[in-house]
Structure 1
């Protein structure tokens, strides 16, 4: 019986890994096609789409499309802008939204349920409905910089960061996670005389690794893929992110090899960020399980 049970377990495990492997292959096929196509001239790229050669680095393989992509547009600048804007927004969002979630869960104050309900209601409001009013507001706001007091935030990094720092989804994720934390820890810290800031920094946040990683990944994907808002508020090329920069490759003579090369280049930061956060996510879960 033990042998039969072991064989069944091994069979189920093999089937599970086979299914997971098939799913992984399905998801990785577009990435393989993109990278392989970026190495081929346009004529060969289009001909190879009729067969499995589209997924194989065969034929006239070179890095010419990458060289042409950098010649057509300031690709490095676009990637830098997106990484800067996205990274700053993610960090500020984690701070602001975690503080908001902490206040909603652990601090008793009048009207917190109403305010939380209003914040959650914003989840059903499409960004397109507030884009124009937000654009008008950003064009009139003052800014004190090295050049003195100026009016309007357009054509800057801050106009791409500040309006998108806080959002209802990220606050909701932190609220739901904080509700599951043991209340005894908070009560014990209060008895010991800890302030709310000390409880947030020394008690709650060290236990929040999984939600920090999850919120960071979701926010990163949303910000890195921003197109409409940067298109509206940035006309200066020096501040444009990667998605707006994609327009350069659809003007005049369209070269699919260069487009694939550009897409391959802008995908690298996404994969790198995900791999780093994935390791942090797994490590945080493991450490939390050991401590718990």
Structure 2
């Protein structure tokens, strides 16, 4: 993909049948990369994806960790059933929920400049809020929280700490690997979201990066520009994984031992 972004379309196809497709040989230039900025508002698309992904990650970490904390540390009747129901929702594909979700978000009220209005379509919140709560993230936090000794809770309770204080000051500071893992696994689908924004967003200034790929498929497909565009929108994902790689691996390793 990266190498093809430096080649003209005719050379991309001529190199497909040989190892040259993976090598930086032939006529190489930055024409495709510069053409991307002329063809689409690349900066707007990237900024929208960053806003949507970061907000989804931050809210997701808060909401899912609090739900997992209640299931892992608090004692109340029926929490095993609740956890089972949450995990069971993982078998439901998003395509099954897309149309009902589209109907509901179009009926929800929102406070705008003119007062209350109905319908979340063509907004940032419709791309963020439906994906904050996540069953898999809750389960990952639950597994990690359950491995933290409960004696810490008892010691904090003796000192007069409440549950929220225990969550904020004790459990969360010890959960760096889990936070890193959930951040990565939340960021990826948020960044790669294509179907949902295509359904709910009409304004170009609100579209995320993945929807921008469609601009290169209109009329004659510009494969070199498409490869260049795909290479550039992959960089933030690689940067995030590299930044959290150590914590991500530690979390997976500890979860494996726990299981």
Q: TM-score range by the shorter chain?
A: over 0.9
Greater percentage in helix: 1
SS in 2 for 1:35: coil
In 2, Cα distance between the equivalents of 1:239 and 1:199?
39
CA RMSD of the aligned region, Å? Answer: 1.7
SS in 2 for 1:144: strand
1:173 counterpart = 2:122: no
1:54 counterpart = 2:21: yes
Runs of 5+ unmatched residues, structure 1: 1-33, 286-292
The residue number in structure 1 matching 2:104 is 137
In 2, Cα distance between the equivalents of 1:133 and 1:48?
46
In 1, Cα distance between the equivalents of 2:113 and 2:79?
39
In 2, Cα distance between the equivalents of 1:64 and 1:194?
61
Alignment of 1:110-259 (within 5 A): 110-259=77-226
Give the Å deviation of 1:74: 1.4
The residue number in structure 2 matching 1:267 is 234
In 2, Cα distance between the equivalents of 1:190 and 1:62?
65
In 1, Cα distance between the equivalents of 2:247 and 2:185?
15
| Matched-pair contact (CA < 8 Å) for 1:209–1:281 | no
Deviating beyond 3 angstroms after TM superposition, the runs of 4 or more aligned structure 1 residues are 279-285
In 1, Cα distance between the equivalents of 2:202 and 2:186?
24
Runs of 5+ unmatched residues, structure 2: 253-259
The residue number in structure 2 matching 1:3 is none
Give the alignment's TM-score, normalised by structure 1: 0.82
Quick one: higher RCO (CA 8 Å, sep 6+), 1 or 2?
2
Give the Å deviation of 1:69: 1.6
Give the Å deviation of 1:145: 2.7
Give the Å deviation of 1:168: 0.7
The residue number in structure 2 matching 1:89 is 56
Name the larger-Rg structure.
1
Give the alignment's TM-score, normalised by structure 2: 0.93
* Corresponding pairs, count: 252
Between stretches 164-173 and 66-75, larger displacement belongs to 66-75
Residues 283 and 131 of structure 1: CA distance in aligned 2, closer, same or farther (over 3 Å): closer
